[in-house]
Structure 1
Amino acid sequence: MKLMNVKNVEKLFETVNKCNGKVELVGDDIQLNLKSKLSQYFSLAKLFSDGEIPELELVTTDPDDNALLMRFMMDNNSEM
């Protein structure tokens, strides 16, 4: 699942923490478990430089988590 133009990173991580299964950030040479606080901080440092993340590729193991993340994108991805 791709998330585009993520502006509210804090709310994204709150949503990820509510997911039941694994949520992993994947890239060309990286795969991070976003349910880990350390990975969340690492991903912020690595990806979040302009106040917005243009694109994230996430892999989830629970179909309900996909719906939760889609709801985040539709409802809660506004600037704080």
Structure 2
Amino acid sequence: MRLTNIKDVQKFIDVVNSCEHEVYLKSLEGDIFNLKSSMSQYIAIGRLIQESGSSLELFANDKNDQIRLINFLHDLNAE
């Protein structure tokens, strides 16, 4: 899932923290940020805020977590 236009970063982090399994971002450069790690969250949020935010892809290993994230992104785009 490509990330674009995430304005409510705290809500995004809350959704990620509600996921039960690994959730991570991957950049075009090959950087991988494990969003279940607080340290990686800070770095990834910096990337989201920078110009490269739309080039980041979001991955989740678990189907239920994928559904949570897709619902969040769908609601975000509906606003």
- TM-score bucket (shorter structure): 0.7 to 0.9
Unaligned runs of 5+ in 1: none
Instruction: Give TM-score scaled by structure 2 length.
Output: 0.79
Query: Once the two structures are aligned, what percentage of the paired residues are identical?
Result: 38
Structure 1 ranges of 4+ moved more than 4 A? 76-79
Q: Which has the higher strand share?
A: 1
Q: Which has the higher helix share?
A: 2
**Aligned counterparts of 1:48 and 1:78: Cα–Cα separation in 2:** 20
Q: 1:28-43 maps to which residues of 2 (within 5 A)?
A: 28-43=29-44
Query: Is 1:16–1:35's contact at 8 Å kept on the other side of the alignment?
Result: yes
Instruction: Give TM-score scaled by structure 1 length.
Output: 0.78
> CA RMSD of the aligned region, Å?
2.2
Aligned partner of 1:24 in structure 2 is 24
Q: How far does residue 4 in structure 1 lie from its aligned partner after superposition?
A: 2.3
Query: Is 2:6–2:76's contact at 8 Å kept on the other side of the alignment?
Result: no
Deviations 1:14-37 (A, max 9, x none): 000000110011012200100111
Structure of greater relative contact order (alpha carbons < 8 Å, 6+ residues apart): 1
Query: Is 1:17–1:35's contact at 8 Å kept on the other side of the alignment?
Result: yes
